[in-house]
């Protein structure tokens, strides 16, 4: 079957670093997305990985290991505005996105 797993909730401190993990099992793989979703709002695109390795974009980085079916999103220098849900999604063999349930990140002062 197809499955994406993420932790339900994480808590971190303002100014710190947090890593949100995502593991997946899908039939076929064509890329992995991370989206951010603030409460009551639409998901917004953060990153896309198709090859193994780390993609860095400002305070946010995303890592992919295709052989392990594993990705993580790394958020540095956390700010209160980073409090949101982070969604992992994988493009399978039919190019439709399969979504994880999301990780709710709570930032404390």
Partner 1 sequence: IAGITQAPTSQILAAGRRMTLRCTQDMRHNAMYWYRQDLGLGLRLIHYSNTAGTTGKGEVPDGYSVSRANTDDFPLTLASAVPSQTSVYFCASSGTAETDTQYFGPGTRLTVL
The dihedral formed by the CA atoms of 97, 101, 102 and 106, expressed in degrees to the nearest 10: 170
DSSP 78: -
Under the binding rule (CB under 8 A), the answer on residue 39 touching partner 1 is no
CB 88 within 8 A of CB 28: no
Pick from 33, 63, 72, 86: which binds partner 1 (CB under 8 A)? 33
Under the binding rule (CB under 8 A), the answer on residue 69 touching partner 1 is no
Query: Which lies closer to partner 1 via its Cβ, residue 19 or residue 96?
Result: 96
- Angle (CA) 36-38-43 rounded to 5° is 45
Under the binding rule (CB under 8 A), the answer on residue 20 touching partner 1 is no
* Part in contact with partner 1 (CB under 8 A); list of ranges 14-22, 56-64, 73-81, 89-97: 89-97
Hey, which residues does 26 pair with through a beta bridge?
none
CB of 20 vs partner 1, minimal distance in Å: 14
Q: For residue 40, how far is the Cα from the chain centroid?
A: 19
Separation of alpha carbons 97 and 89, rounded Å: 6
Pick from 19, 96, 106, 108: which binds partner 1 (CB under 8 A)? 96
| Interacting residues with partner 1 (CB under 8 A) | 4, 30-31, 33, 41-45, 48, 50, 87, 89, 91, 95-102
């Amino acid at each position: 079957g197809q499955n994406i797993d993420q932790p339900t909730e994480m808590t971190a401190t303002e100014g710190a670093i947090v890593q949100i993990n995502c593991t997946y099992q899908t039939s076929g793989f064509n890329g992995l997305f991370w989206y951010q979703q603030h409460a009551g709002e639409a998901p917004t695109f953060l990153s896309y990985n198709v090859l193994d390795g780390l993609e860095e974009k400002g305070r946010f980085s995303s890592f992919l290991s295709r052989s392990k079916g594993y990705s993580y999103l790394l958020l540095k220098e956390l700010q209160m505005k980073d409090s949101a849900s982070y969604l992992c999604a994988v493009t399978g063999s039919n190019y439709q996105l399969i979504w994880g349930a999301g990780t709710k990140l709570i930032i404390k002062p």
